[in-house]
């Protein structure tokens, strides 16, 4: 089998991007009227829908926390999201782990202390899977939370970066991910630049860690720009509607 050249000597990737370029991001908020807040995001061919319910009364009494809100994340991948149809249960290990990552990312950002004895539910659904699922979910969740009007200290923007032939590469797609490229996902708070999540499951040379992390956080800032403009646009639209 031929090994594909993921990064040509001229610095182009298979999909025509350069090493430090993101895939195209399109996003939209308030896609559902049922949910309190919702968002739809496409990062290249990875497509994710987020719906936020809450703050609302906690469903189970025993989970209720008297001093803060309870955060609940459910993550689901559609069986038709990859080229080969594969049913994944909501409760399989990967999905649960992913949900935990996301919950832990948002817990310190949402001002839960202001909403005691309540529950916030974030439902995430992947429709098409082309790499970078975690970052896509975090970005979608941020937008949905903002759309729901839940108090947060900042956006949470996530982006992944990897390393192909010793060159740091931004925003891996499925093809690049699946050929043993180490992938690092970073989520940061863009205003302060604080890192909220760093996740990596493969081996990466320690010498490269710094440059890869740096590239990923630069990517986060770019993501922030896009998300921010979408949110502002939506807010303006809402304001216009209020005024009329």
Partner 1 sequence: MPDLVYYDKTERSFFRKTRSNAIVKLVREQYLRGDIPCMSEQCPSIPPCQRVLDINTNNPKHEGLLSAHADHYVIPDMSARDKTLGGIIMRYLEILEQEELTGIILSQTIITSLQQHDKLRTYRKLRQIINDTRRNSVVFYNEVFADTRVPRLAGETASERDWRALCRMANWYSHHLGKPIVLLSEVNSTLNNNNNDDDDNQGLVTVRTMKQYIDQYWGQHTLLQNLAQVLAEAVLEDDLERIRVTSSGKKSEPAVSGYTEYKPMEELEAGIKSSRYFSGTLRCRSGTRDTGYVNGGQKLEKDILIIGSENINRAVHGDMVVVELLSENNWTTTSSKIAYGGSTEDEYEETRLTRNINTTHPTGRVIGILNRNWRSYVATIQEDTPSNGLFHLAIPLDSVIPKIRLRHHDVKLIQNQRIVVRIDSWPTSSQYPNGHYVRSLGPIHQLDTEISAILVEHGISVSQASQGFSEASLKEMPEDTVATPWKPEPNEIARRKDLRSLTVFSIDPPNCQDIDDALSIRDLDDGRIELGVHIADVSYFVKENSLTDLEARSRGTTVYLADRRFDMLPSVLSEKVCSLRGDVDRYAVSVLWTLDSKTLQVLDTWFGRTLIRSSCEMEYEQAQQLLDGESVATNLSTSLSKKLKPSVVKLATVLRAMRRQRLAKGALELESSNEVKFKIGDNHSVTDINILFLLFLYTNLTILFQNFNESEAMIMANSYVGKRIYDGFKDAAILRRHPPPNAGQFEMLVKAAESKGFPVDFSSNRALAISLERIVKNSAGDPEIARLMKTMATVAMNEAGYISSGHYVVDEYFHYGLALEFYTHFTSPIRRYADIVAHRQLLMCVEDEVAILDRQKKGTSMTQDSKVNDICDHLNLKSRESKFAQRDSTELFQSLYVLQHTTNGNPLIESGVIAEIRSNGFYVFIPRLGLKGPVFLMDKHGQPAVPLSLQSGNSDHDEEYLSNCTIDVSIPTNISVQAATLPHPIQFNLFDHVRVSLKLRKSHAHRHMVYMTLIDLEHTKVEKSIPIMSKDILMKTVMESFNNDDKEEIEDIDDIETGREVGGEKIAMSKQEIETRRQLKKSTKQQGNMYDFLEQFRKMSIAACSYVDNTTTN
Q: Which residue blocks in 22-128 are alpha helix, DSSP H?
A: 93-106
Structure tokens, 126: 């992947």
* Shortest CB 227 distance to partner 1, Å: 15
Nearer to partner 1, 44 or 54 (CB): 44
Beta-strand ranges (E) seen in the chain are 25-29, 37-43, 46-57, 70-77, 118-128, 157-164, 167-170, 183-189, 194-200
> One symbol per residue from 1 to 20: x for binding partner 1 (CB under 8 A), - otherwise; what is it?
xxxxx--xxxxx-xxxxxxx
Please provide the size of the chain in residues: 244
* Shortest CB 200 distance to partner 1, Å: 18
On whether the CB atoms of residues 109 and 93 are closer than 8 A, the answer is: no
Q: Which of residues 153-192 bind partner 1 (CB under 8 A)?
A: 165-167, 173, 175
* Binding of partner 1 by 87 (CB under 8 A): no
Nearer to partner 1, 4 or 242 (CB): 4
Using N-to-C axis directions, what is the helix angle for 133-148 and 206-243, rounded to 10°? 30
Please tell me the distance from the alpha carbon of residue 49 to that of residue 169, in angstroms, as a whole number.
26
Q: Which of residues 191-210 bind partner 1 (CB under 8 A)?
A: 205, 207-208
* Shortest CB 17 distance to partner 1, Å: 5
* Shortest CB 234 distance to partner 1, Å: 22
Within 13 Å and on the Cβ side, how many CA atoms surround 210? 1
> One symbol per residue from 90 to 109: x for binding partner 1 (CB under 8 A), - otherwise; what is it?
--------------------
* Shortest CB 131 distance to partner 1, Å: 10
* Shortest CB 206 distance to partner 1, Å: 9
Other C-beta atoms within 10 Å of 76: how many?
Answer: 18
Nearer to partner 1, 17 or 48 (CB): 17
> One symbol per residue from 25 to 54: x for binding partner 1 (CB under 8 A), - otherwise; what is it?
-------------------xx---------
* Binding of partner 1 by 22 (CB under 8 A): yes
Please tell me the distance from the alpha carbon of residue 69 to that of residue 54, in angstroms, as a whole number.
10
Other C-beta atoms within 10 Å of 153: how many?
Answer: 13
Which of 105, 63, 75 lies closest to 189, judged by CA?
A: 105
* Shortest CB 244 distance to partner 1, Å: 35
Which of 97, 96, 103 lies closest to 122, judged by CA?
A: 103
For partner 1, the binding residues (CB under 8 A) are 1-5, 8-12, 14-24, 44-45, 83-84, 130, 165-167, 173, 175, 205, 207-208, 218, 221-222
């Amino acid at each position: 089998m031929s090994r594909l050249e993921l990064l040509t000597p001229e610095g182009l990737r298979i999909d025509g991007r350069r090493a430090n370029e993101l895939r195209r991001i399109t996003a939209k908020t308030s896609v559902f009227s049922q949910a309190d807040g919702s968002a739809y995001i496409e990062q290249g061919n990875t497509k994710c829908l987020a719906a936020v319910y809450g703050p609302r009364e906690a469903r189970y009494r025993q989970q209720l926390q008297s001093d803060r809100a309870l955060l609940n994340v459910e993550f689901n991948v559609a069986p038709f999201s990859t080229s080969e149809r594969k049913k994944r249960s909501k409760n399989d290990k990967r999905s649960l782990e992913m949900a935990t990552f996301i919950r832990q990312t948002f817990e310190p950002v949402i001002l839960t202390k202001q909403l005691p004895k309540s529950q916030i539910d974030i439902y995430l659904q992947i429709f098409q899977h082309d790499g970078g699922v975690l970052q896509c979910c975090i970005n979608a969740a941020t937008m949905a939370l903002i759309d729901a009007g839940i108090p947060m200290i900042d956006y949470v923007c996530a982006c992944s970066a990897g390393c192909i032939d010793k060159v740091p590469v931004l925003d891996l797609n499925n093809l690049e991910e699946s050929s043993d490229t180490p992938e690092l996902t970073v989520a940061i708070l863009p205003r302060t630049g604080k890192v909220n999540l760093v996740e990596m499951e493969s081996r990466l040379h320690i010498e490269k860690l710094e440059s890869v992390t740096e590239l990923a956080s630069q990517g986060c800032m770019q993501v922030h720009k896009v998300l921010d403009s979408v949110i502002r646009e939506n807010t303006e639209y809402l304001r216009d509607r209020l005024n009329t």
